[in-house]
Amino acid sequence: MKILLTAFDPFGGERINPAQEVAAALPERIGGAEIVKLWIPTVFGKASEMITRAMDELWPDAVISLGQAGGRKAVTPERIAINWMDARIPDNAGHQPKEQFIEAGGPDGCFSTLPVEAMVAAIREIGLPGEVSLSAGTFVCNEVMYRVLRHAARTMPDTRCGFIHIPFLPEQVREKPDMPCLSLEDMVRALTATLEVVEAHLASEKR
């Protein structure tokens, strides 16, 4: 069993991205699943192309993308990606699409195929903040989630796909005293719990 785990590089003036820091600290195996890690750029189009190429090569059982959501206080698995790009800031290549469809003629939204409610429950069971999110935004994170779900639906419908947003790390908020954050240790614990849920869900589907 393979789970493809992707994480963005720093963007928006930040020196680090908690997604990469957490992904790097996670184990290479969880239960019966190999965790294959992929670093992706915060660039419209390029990030999703890298993921779908890796999907075609690995044929993973699940794809989970991690992204930073500064201002959120909880680890938030996303419920839905919308067919819309409207960037508040440029991506790392200077692109800033405004009011554009991701896929002309595509569905308005694509729902996560991960067990998001069970993932949130697992985070809360270990005493950490977890919430289901109903908005992945309109930046690169949302575009990646949408394109990955569409690619899976077309070519590998048994592959479970979704996105998890995580808060800032403490070192990112030293000069932002009112901004929530979570420690690296706590976020690794939360993501380990979610991956354990996904692994168990995949295993039960294969029985």
Q: Which residues are catalytic?
A: 78, 141, 165
174 burial via Cβ count (<10 Å: 0-12, 13-18, 19+): exposed
- How many beta carbons lie within 10 A of that of residue 28, not counting itself? 9
* C-alpha to C-alpha distance for 15 and 11, rounded to whole angstroms: 8
Largest CA distance in the chain: 50
* C-alpha to C-alpha distance for 10 and 89, rounded to whole angstroms: 13
Contact predicate 157/59, CB 8 Å: no
